[in-house]
């Protein structure tokens, strides 16, 4: 089959390498436009190293771009980590259609931040879906799904890079093989079970210390490494990483109020929350960068009894 791969970043590059290793024919890749002076996208680098044409359209809405795309006579379009809007005519330009990777068990967690929201909402399981995209946002029929457990200490970073990334690459290869063999299903999504969440950015990452401790912990790990859940400390925005929730009496033995610093040791900074404490391993601020929480607290002379608050711009 003649395949056009649209994607970017390490996932796009890994998908290209895996498809080539499986003997598939990639006639071109489409990546986002490069920025002057910036390193080329990993997918572009991987394609050029293999002698595959790499195209960087500024927009997919241009008729000339579509004419060139359709002129490549693709049998299948593979979308591997795509953030641009790809009009449906591109998806229909290939005789076998198009498939797309999404890091959740659709129809749950449609949208651009599926991994983050699975953690923020306290899900115990998530996974990946390879589906046939249509005009909607993550609404097309399902080809293949795989499921994974979410551990109490998973972050968005660990869940993606340690499991959903490698599983996703394997799933793309498996899906293309099923299509080539004429065995790929098209299973309609159950829209009654669908959820859609907005992008996980600073609009949702502000810690509300009035909420239960487990919810705050889920927010922190769902925003780790990006954008980083944050709070106010002495008027500065402070982001949290590598947090653990320690259930028990609020604030441990001293009964501190939510948001109050209760202790500091080499393992991190302890903060009181409803239902226990948070043990935060790393902190990031504009002035200090990302550092061990204990080092930040020592440098800032943080004392037990001081409080974090909700940040107000």
pLDDT for 256 equals: 83
pLDDT for 286 equals: 94
Cα distance between residue 260 and residue 231, in whole Å = 12
In sequence order, the 6+-apart residues with CB closer than 8 A to the CB of 231 are 206, 207, 209, 237, 238, 240, 259, 308, 309, 310, 311
Does domain 213-299 fall into CATH 3.10.25.10? Answer: yes
pLDDT for 138 equals: 97
pLDDT for 253 equals: 53
| Alpha carbon separation from 48 to 29, 70, 100, 255 (Å, rounded) | 10, 21, 23, 60
DSSP 191: G
What CATH number was assigned to the domain covering residues 2-193? 3.40.50.170
**Which residue is associated with the tokens 């299903």?**
185
Cα distance between residue 172 and residue 166, in whole Å = 10
Going by their DSSP bridges, the two strands 236-247 and 276-285 should be labelled as antiparallel
pTM for the model stands at 0.94
How is the chain split into domains, by residue range?
2-193, 213-299
Cα distance between residue 224 and residue 176, in whole Å = 32
How many residues are there in the chain? 313
10-residue mean pLDDT series, the chain (313 residues): 97 98 98 89 97 96 97 98 94 97 98 97 98 96 98 96 98 98 98 97 97 97 98 97 88 74 89 94 96 94 94 83
């Amino acid at each position: 089959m003649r395949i056009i791969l649209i994607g970017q970043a390490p996932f796009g590059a890994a998908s290209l390498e895996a498809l080539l290793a499986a003997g598939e024919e990639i006639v071109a890749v489409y990546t986002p436009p490069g920025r002057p002076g910036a390193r080329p996208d990993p997918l572009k680098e991987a394609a050029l190293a293999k002698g595959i044409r790499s195209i960087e359209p500024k927009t997919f809405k241009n008729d000339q771009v579509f004419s060139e795309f359709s002129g490549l006579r693709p049998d299948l379009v593979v979308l591997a980590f795509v953030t641009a809007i790809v009009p449906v005519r591109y998806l229909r330009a290939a005789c076998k259609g198009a498939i797309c990777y999404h890091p959740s068990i659709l129809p749950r967690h449609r949208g651009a931040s599926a991994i983050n929201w699975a953690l923020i909402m306290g899900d115990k399981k998530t996974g990946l879906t390879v589906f046939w995209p249509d005009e909607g946002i993550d609404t097309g029929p399902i080809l293949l799904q795989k499921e994974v457990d979410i551990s109490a200490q998973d972050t968005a970073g660990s869940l993606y890079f340690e499991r959903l990334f490698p599983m996703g690459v394997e799933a793309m290869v498996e899906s293309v093989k099923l299509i080539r063999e004429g065995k790929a299903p098209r299973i309609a999504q159950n829209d009654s079970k669908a959820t859609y969440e907005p992008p996980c950015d600073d609009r949702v990452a502000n810690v509300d210390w009035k909420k239960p401790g487990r919810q705050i912990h889920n927010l922190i790990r769902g925003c780790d490494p990006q954008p980083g859940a944050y709070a106010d400390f002495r008027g500065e925005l402070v982001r949290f990483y590598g947090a653990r929730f320690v259930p028990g009496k609020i604030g441990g033995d001293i009964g501190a109020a939510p948001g109050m610093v209760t202790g500091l040791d080499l393992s991190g900074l302890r903060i009181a929350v409803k239902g226990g404490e948070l043990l935060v391993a790393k902190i990031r601020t504009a002035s200090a960068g990302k550092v061990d929480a204990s080092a930040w607290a020592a440098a800032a002379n943080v004392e037990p009894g001081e409080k974090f608050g909700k940040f107000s711009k």
